[in-house]
Amino acid sequence: MAERLEVDICVVGAGPGGLLVAAAAALLGQRVALVERGRMGGDCLNYGCVPSKALIAAARTAALARSAREFGVVLDEPRIDFARVHAHLQEIIARLAPQDSEERFEGLGCKVVRAEARFLAPDELEAGKTRIRARRFVIATGSAPAIPPIPGLAEAPYLTNESIFELDALPEHLLVIGGGPMGVELAQAFLRLGARVSLLEELALLGKEDVEAADVVRQALRRDGASLYEGTKVKRIARAGLSIVAELECQGKGETIAGSHLLIAAGRTPDLAGLGLEAAEVAFSPRGIAVDRRLRTTNRRIYALGDAVGGAQFTHLAGHHAGIVVRNALFRLPARVDERALPRVTYSDPELAQVGLMEGPARARHGSIRILRWAFSENDRARIERSCQGFAKAITTRRGRILGAAIVGAHAGELILPWCLAIRRRLPIGAMAQLIAPYPTLGEINRAVAGSFFTASLFSERAKRLVRFLASFG
């Protein structure tokens, strides 16, 4: 006989966004059911941000060892123990897992149900042998790897982010389909750990990012030894003994490339299969669940957040969504999603970070704009650490309102934060230019790029005449 639960709020999906809502609701004294069919912590902890950044950290350590002689430290070529690298990834996941564990959430007062959820009605769902009725539901089911319809792919072994971190032996030659952030990050990491890598992209590498910044990353990949195939369509995948063969078409010409492993990094799609959203009276499409700016679905009892609603798919956006849902569903405040200051980072080396509008959209919306740049090669800390690749760029209106920023260089993901605050608070460029930054730091680049807005007027002929006039008074 099915167990029946009556709760105030039922969260479907124990990834970052769902866990934040469940924890907040429980701490506020609500009766909470948390349903998860897979691993607690979701994609981010188990298959995404955590293992990928742990792999990147290992790869960066190997790259630092190779470049140590530039600092007068002579090291032998690093020997990569890939089984130990794999163990490192699993150790990091294990260290972080207790924060997202079933035990922790049961301790907070949540009823955790480890089963697949399916809606039976607008106010009821089934999860295994449990039926749950709730005043409010939150769908936080995340996303799954998008698998492109390439002939032969279904018959060939391939990896996704859900399986590549299980490898305990280094691929000899990794073929990567997809030149977005995930494909670029993993391609570079495996390169630096000693694999051959061929990166296949139908359009342009990092095609959604700032063009100039993406080119800095492109050149870094080439220096690391990547074989880049841009503007290349994968026509077919086939097995040939122990190899995986990709038939390519580039500018009307055919080519064949063989590798030992194949990684599909062609984006992600909302994971909504089997949820029974029709019974819940929730509108959805292959792009995700339809929501308003308060993250309410077409059924006002049900909210959706994170990757399940489509659009930008970031853990930090799911966290922002969780706060919006808590304010709406629990405090009944009309909070709305605001993505104006949403940062996005590609964790390559150098990193590429962006926030706000880039040049094309900024011109389309505001007409005349100012583009400000400052090179890392002009920053003393970057020179000291021999990390001179890249630049910082800010985009403003003619009057100095900050519209967007892009940074490609060392620690760009950290350096983008002041620009996020500036855009969020609608600060003028002068606010950034007036910062007192500690010396020597990479952070000085933000003040420098902002200060360049005023350079022309500060040292203009008019300013010189003013100074001469004031000097005449003694």
Report the candidate in 207, 209, 211, 171 with the shortest Cα–Cα distance to residue 187.
171
234 residue type, one letter: V
| CATH code assigned to 3-40+101-145+269-329 | 3.50.50.60
Taking a C-beta distance cutoff of 8 angstroms, is the pair 369, 397 a contact? Answer: yes
Alpha helix ranges (H) inside 159-234: 181-192, 211-224
State the Cα–Cα distance between residues 119 and 53, nearest whole angstrom.
35
State the Cα–Cα distance between residues 294 and 39, nearest whole angstrom.
28
State the architecture of 153-266 in CATH terms: 3-Layer(bba) Sandwich (3.50)
DSSP classification of residue 260: S
| CATH code assigned to 343-458 | 3.30.390.30
What pLDDT sits at residue 1? 62
Whether 3-40+101-145+269-329 and 153-266 share one fold: the answer is yes
Domain edges within the chain: 3-40+101-145+269-329, 153-266, 343-458
Radius of gyration of the chain (CA): 25
Report the candidate in 407, 391, 393 with the shortest Cα–Cα distance to residue 450.
393
Strand 268-270 with 143-145, pairing: antiparallel
pLDDT in 10s for each residue of the chain, 474 residues: 678 999 999 999 999 999 999 999 999 999 999 999 999 999 999 999 999 999 999 999 999 999 999 999 999 889 999 999 999 999 999 999 999 999 999 999 999 999 999 999 999 999 999 999 999 999 999 999 999 999 999 999 999 999 999 999 999 999 999 999 999 999 999 999 999 999 999 999 999 999 999 999 999 999 999 999 999 999 999 999 899 999 999 888 899 999 999 999 999 999 999 999 999 999 999 999 999 999 999 999 999 999 999 988 999 999 999 999 999 999 999 999 999 999 999 999 999 999 999 999 999 999 999 999 999 999 999 999 999 999 999 999 999 999 999 999 999 999 999 999 999 999 999 999 999 999 999 999 999 999 999 987 777 778 778 787 888 886
State the Cα–Cα distance between residues 27 and 170, nearest whole angstrom.
45
Using DSSP's 3-state secondary structure scheme, residue 108 falls into: helix
